[in-house]
Amino acid sequence: MRTAAVVGGGIAGLATAIGLGERGWRVSVFEQAAGFAEVGAGISLWRNALRALDALGVGDRVRARGANPGNGGLRDKRGRWLAASSAADLVMIHRADLLEVLLGAVQPEVLRPGTPVDRLAVVDGKPVVNGERFDLLVGADGLHSTVRATFWPDAKPPRPAGHTAWRMVLPAKGVTPSETWGDRQVFGIFPMSADRVYAYAAAVAPPNTVFPEGDLAELRRRFADWHDPIPSLVNAAETVLRHDLYYLPDLSTYVRGPVALVGDAAHAMTPNMGQGGCQALEDAVTLAATVDDLAHYDALRRPRSQRIAHRSRSTGKFVHSGAPWRDTLVRLLPSSLATKAVDRALDWYPPVTTPA
């Protein structure tokens, strides 16, 4: 039986383990944390991600744990609608719930929590992880990937996008999903169930900015005069997660010999298209389908994921530009053009599995 080491036990790593396991590989998932847990708030799973989850056999379980937020759109800070959007192909779910579903689809013996990876090499064409030989090594260890640093020493380091983000899960009912654009900052609200919403905000800020009165106080200050229910949601928050946004400059390949990268380790992107997790799931399914031809995996995944990463970054620049014509342009843009742009990102289907 062929063996694979997956470094990183997040969404990308577990999805990869499921896909490879279904193809008969014996997989070991190395996770440096003591347990498998997802720190975060909500995640948007668009139809491309749902197709990937269906291919892994867990799509229905994910849909049951998440919720369709309903139709909404873009607004300005006074609450006026800029554009309508459809959420027919979207499931919002807490990251912890998604991770729990993925964990339920792998055998316990696959998981190696509390196991930092500090010895990586390729010897006689075989990856070696902490002294143990495998047939394949998959780097699913995120933005600051140890696998990438080891086997892609020429890769450029992650770069700051120039924005910081806040994330929250809050109790709320009857909220219309929307993303609101203000002066170089945004606020999004998406129901995750009948009585719970995922809320996020982003603003222009240099990396490592420290807000003197704290992240939550800063969030309340910034959005105090925005349209309802934004101020009340922020005031109801007891805790908030904040992190600076980074992206990974393009890699020339996602494959080096018997080593492949998936998820943020390969193409960390800004969240402006809600595609970071979706692309990781596409990676996992594609890698499992093409594992006997890693060059094919690279050819399928790198152009598409990098194209979406570029679009996401350019969208963020546009949203945070503060240009006086921004909102007018959005109002005048034909909905058919916006729909086509979204469809190009979401119209992905799992590839045909190559023969073993």
pLDDT value of residue 150 = 98
Q: Are 253 and 266 in contact (CB under 8 A)?
A: no
Torsions phi, psi of 48, nearest 5?
-65, -40
Interacting residues of 350 by C-beta distance below 8 A, sequence separation 6+: 51, 52, 55, 285, 286, 289
pLDDT value of residue 356 = 60
Residue-wise pLDDT for 116-172, tens only, equals 998 999 999 999 999 999 999 999 999 999 999 999 999 999 999 999 999 999 988
pLDDT value of residue 355 = 62
Apex CA 316: angle with CA 209 and CA 200, to 5°? 65
Residue range of the domain that includes 148: 3-68+95-159+247-320+336-346
Euclidean distance between CA atoms 238 and 169, whole angstroms: 10
Walking along the chain (356 residues) 10 residues at a time, the average pLDDT comes out as 97 98 97 82 95 98 93 94 85 95 95 94 96 98 98 97 95 91 95 90 96 96 96 94 97 98 98 96 98 98 98 94 89 78 86 74
Q: Which residues pair with 273 in a beta bridge?
A: none
Q: With respect to residue 274, please indicate whether it lies within any of the assigned structural domains.
A: yes
pLDDT value of residue 87 = 74
pLDDT value of residue 59 = 97
pTM for the model stands at: 0.96
Interacting residues of 344 by C-beta distance below 8 A, sequence separation 6+: none
Q: With respect to residue 79, please indicate whether it lies within any of the assigned structural domains.
A: no
Q: With respect to residue 251, please indicate whether it lies within any of the assigned structural domains.
A: yes
Euclidean distance between CA atoms 263 and 169, whole angstroms: 24
Q: For position 54, which CATH number holds?
A: 3.50.50.60
Instruction: Count Cα neighbours of 78 within 13 Å in the Cβ-side half-sphere.
Output: 3
Query: Considering its fold, how many domains does the chain have in total?
Result: 1
